[in-house]
Amino acid sequence: MFELTSSPIDPAALRTRLAAPEAGALTVFEGRVRNHHQGRPVARLEYEAFDEMARLEGEAIVAESENIHAGATVLCVHRTGTLQIGEIAVWIGVASAHRQTGFAACRHVIEELKLRLPIWKKEHHPDGASEWVNCTVEAGSNAAGDDTHARQVALPEIGPGGQARLAAARVLIVGLGGLGCPAALYLAGSGIGHLTLVDGGKVERSNLARQILFTTAEIGGPKVVAAAARLRLHHPAGRISAHAGDLTAGNARTLVAGQDVVLDCSDNFATRFVLHDACLALGVPLVQAAVHRFEGTLDVFQRGAGGCLHCLWPGRPAAELDFAGNCDGAPVFGPAVGVLGVMQAAEAIKLVLGLEGLAPRQTRLVNLLDGTQLAIERPVRADCPVCARLDQLKAATEQLAASDAALLIDAADVSALGLSARVIFLTEPGDDLSAPGMARTVPAHDLARLRELAADGPLVLACRHGLRSAALARMLRAEGMGAVRALAGGNPPAGLQSFLR
């Protein structure tokens, strides 16, 4: 809940509104009018808001905080009009089961209000002078003499001109896992002007050891929204955009267009191929990394350099490559993904600055177990269907986007396929099949059974995260089974359980 009021704020009444028997914590923030600002004495303040816009943005901030911090109920009230010294200008209360969730949700609202709420304040000084201040501009601007990047600017390879290029740069990060989190943090810290984050997942406890942008307070919330909020604290002068969804063939070109560099921090080959092809088609450099156990690889792909991803994996469809990995991820050494993510950030910064980085067509192999690095040349194939025929790539990516649009289906549209449609949940070793609705399952490796089912009519594949199901659906459709679809988003919701019986 978000409210604007011209009346004095009554904290006791607001606390009563948030009282709930299930809430073990009530976290309250009160922002009061102080008697000075930036070295000048202040006698009183006036707050003026664009009411409709401020209410909508305030409601969006509160809803966002409740979405990130599961179980939190947020109430925020902001004053307008004339306020005297000591009066409450903004009151934020969070009712939650545990204090950590309350603290995190409250801080999120405080920081987002400063950056996003369209409210102006007029400072009245004892000498009779006064001036209007846009609170959001003030919060996002650097103070005079700000030395945030001073030690970076001191590098002769960067200097003030290079720092200005970083501030003007646009970088896209796909995936906010163990690679994307440190990469995003270091790119924001370097002063990149506009970061766009793409991830459709939620914060999970089992990933916190590697995904360093998140805490237990955000478990269950969307990763991309929580990450954007965290990065705004780290880099308030920059712009952080969040796309809460997966990268697909249908949206890849839109997301890549206009970027200076793209980082592929995803965990599956299907996404890597789609993103790789979109970057080559649009001429945007791509920095890609992957980690398995203690080892990682780092690549930079640029149009015209040769040695593309298709040269590395000739004749191997993305579905077949994805089939080699598990949707839940393979065993991994946490520091390995951290090191590779930071290396991705370093390559992206060097690309923006025009500095020499990883050599063209070179793959860097990093082993955290024995501490070694090795550079090998990527193969260049004269008959590569992609980098040897860049003029045909645009048509190929558009065709793939159309194919994916037909491939994925929302839960709400499954019933439209008719009573003959079946939803099959793809299982992995160790899956719990005792949950309600898990009667119709097929092991993900049983291609013969899947082909048999696909021959009998409309078939919808589902898996826990939606990656394996989409990859296998693409493979079966490529074999001529056009009635196979994949359930967008992974696990079938409760409304689809009847299809599984």
What are the phi and psi torsion angles at 170 (to 5°)?
-120, 125
DSSP state of 381: -
Rounded alpha-carbon distances, angstroms, from residue 43 to 124, 261, 462: 6, 49, 63
Cross-strand bridge partners of residue 288: 264, 299
Q: 3-class DSSP state for residue 5?
A: strand
Is-catalytic flag, 76?
A: no
Q: What is the CA radius of gyration of the chain?
A: 26
* Residue of 82, 80, 81, 77 lying closest to 93 (CA atoms): 77
Q: Which residues contact 435 (CB under 8 A, 6 or more apart)?
A: none
**Which residue's entry shows tokens 């390995």?**
336
Residue in 76, 106, 181, 463 annotated catalytic: 463
Token representation of residue 357:
């980085």
Locate the DSSP E strands across 302-384: 362-367, 372-377
Helix H, strand E, coil C: the string for 248-306 is: CCCCHHHHHCCCCEEEECCCCHHHHHHHHHHHHHHCCCEEEEEEEECEEEEEEECCCCC
Contact 179, 337 (CB under 8 A): yes
Q: Residue ranges of the alpha helices (H) in 456-500? A: 467-478
In single-letter form, the type of residue at position 327 comes to: C
Structure tokens at 102: 């309350």
203: helix, strand or coil:
coil
What is the distance, to the nearest Å, from the Cα of residue 96 to the centroid of all Cα atoms in its chain?
A: 25
Distance CA 382, CA 446 (A): 36
CB-based burial of residue 103 (10 Å sphere; 0-12 exposed, 13-18 middle, 19+ buried)?
middle
* Contact assessment for residue 76 and residue 91, using Cβ atoms and an 8 Å cutoff: yes
Taking the CA atoms of residue 423, residue 428, residue 434 and residue 435 in that order, the dihedral angle to the nearest 10 degrees is -50
Q: Is residue 384 annotated as a catalytic residue, yes or no?
A: no
CA distances from 317 to 392, 482, 485, 498 (A): 18, 17, 17, 33
At 439, is the secondary structure helix, strand, or coil? Answer: coil
Among residues 106, 311, 327, 384, the one annotated as catalytic is 327
Per-residue tokens: 227 = 């990450």
User: Would you name the residues annotated as active-site residues?
Assistant: 327, 463
